[in-house]
A and B are shown apart, each in its own frame.
Chain A
Amino acid sequence: MSHLTPAVGPADHVQGPRDAGIVLVEYGDFECPYCGEAYPELKALQQAMGDALCFVFRHFPLTNAHPHAERAAEFAEAATTIGRFWEMHDLLYENQEALDDRSLVGYAAQLGFDKALIESTLRGDFAERVRHDFTGGVRSGVNGTPCLFINGQRYDGPRDADSLIELFRRQD
């Protein structure tokens, strides 16, 4: 149970070398406060691990609990089409308190979305891509957000940078 089912592939959002010794996949929700807490920890982790770590983000919006999470994820996907996924990812986590449509459109404009892309995003053109991540997450045993997979295995332990660095150093 609880093994990452869709393997990391070309469609994934990746930071770091894909052939790194440690591949960390986060299933996250931009409106989830626990994901917000994990955000700076995972950044610190990436910094500490350098090229030894490949970090992958997949969407898992919990739409009943978080009414803006789905739309936020769709804007992140839309940002991918202009090569700015990670900038949107960071902007959303740094502004978790303001994820209403108006704010999202503001972030989009800031990152250089044109009017057509904003309209297309608001129409839901990126919903299917988000759903694809979500469904894969369900099949992989995602049990809440954030949910981390380390080299394909679900990780239920502490998510602070120090604990994860310690864990990875031990695995070396």
Chain B
Amino acid sequence: MSSATPVTVEIGQPAPDFTLHSTPDQTVSLSELRGRPVVLVFYPADWSPVCGDQVSLYNELLAEFRAYNSEIIGISVDGVWCHAAFAGDRKLHFPLLADFEPKGDVARRYGVYEASGGTSQRALFVIDADGIVRWRYVSPIGINPGADGILDALDKLPRKQGSSS
């Protein structure tokens, strides 16, 4: 275990900005998404062996997330080619970002890096349209947290005028 002070991202504080690759030639920055709520999904690894896994579940719920005009983003320490293969296999329709170099840097900045396993924890953040963290949840690593907490958190965000597309 690292002796460094654990970083925590507090509710009501600005979410740390980042820029990560979503594909070999494209990047996504959190700050580009300002104006819409963002659901950040840190998960340990691509290719989880269960069919009802977390990212596949969220993939089925994109209409639900869109109803809040929100953007959902997955983040793991896997590289872009791994993400591309995984997203293709599972027919995912939302971006997976590669927290690959320096490995786990963004997860560390959100206080959800698990050094012993070398992956992020299974952690969810809901960030409002102004980039403020409004909700966070860290699930036991073996338990898929589902989506009820995310949707409840999105429900509690103030509805911005004209925000529903």
Is the Cβ of A62 less than 8 Å from the Cβ of B52? yes
B residues 45-61 near A (Cβ < 8 Å) are 50-54, 56-57, 59-61
Residue from A1, A138, A141 within 8 A of B64 (CB atoms)? A138
> What is the 8 Å Cβ interface bit string for chain B, positions 137-157, against chain A (1 contact, 0 not)?
100000111111101000000
Where the two chains meet, the residues of A that have a C-beta atom closer than 8 Å to any C-beta of B are 1-2, 5, 29, 32-34, 62-65, 135, 138-145, 147, 154, 156
Residue from B59, B61, B148 within 8 A of A141 (CB atoms)? B148
Is the Cβ of A144 less than 8 Å from the Cβ of B51? yes
11 A-B pairs besides A65-B91, A138-B147, A147-B52 with CB distance below 8 A are A1-B145, A1-B146, A2-B146, A34-B50, A62-B51, A62-B56, A64-B91, A65-B51, A141-B145, A143-B52, A144-B54
Instruction: Kindly report which residue of chain B lies nearest to residue A66, judged by CB atoms.
Output: B51
Is the Cβ of B146 less than 8 Å from the Cβ of A141? yes
Set of chain B residues within 8 Å of A156, measured between Cβ atoms: 143
Residue from B56, B61, B92 within 8 A of A138 (CB atoms)? B61
Output the residue of A32, A65, A140, A143 with the most chain B CB within 10 A: A143
**18 A-B interface contacts by CB (under 8 A):** A1-B145, A34-B52, A64-B56, A64-B93, A65-B51, A138-B146, A138-B151, A141-B145, A141-B149, A142-B146, A143-B54, A143-B57, A143-B144, A144-B53, A144-B57, A145-B51, A145-B52, A156-B143
Output the residue of B56, B90, B148 with the most chain A CB within 10 A: B148
Is the Cβ of B51 less than 8 Å from the Cβ of A33? yes
Is the Cβ of B148 less than 8 Å from the Cβ of A32? no
Tell me how many residues of B have a C-beta within 8 Å of chain A.
24
8 smallest CB-CB distances across A and B, nearest first, come from A144-B52, A143-B146, A143-B144, A141-B146, A141-B148, A145-B52, A64-B91, A1-B149
Set of chain B residues within 8 Å of A32, measured between Cβ atoms: 51-52
Where the two chains meet, the residues of B that have a C-beta atom closer than 8 Å to any C-beta of A are 50-54, 56-57, 59-61, 64, 90-93, 137, 143-149, 151
In the complex, A90 Cα to B63 Cα: how many Å? 30
In the complex, A29 Cα to B60 Cα: how many Å? 13
| Least Cβ–Cβ distance between B125 and chain A, in angstroms | 15
| Least Cβ–Cβ distance between B131 and chain A, in angstroms | 25
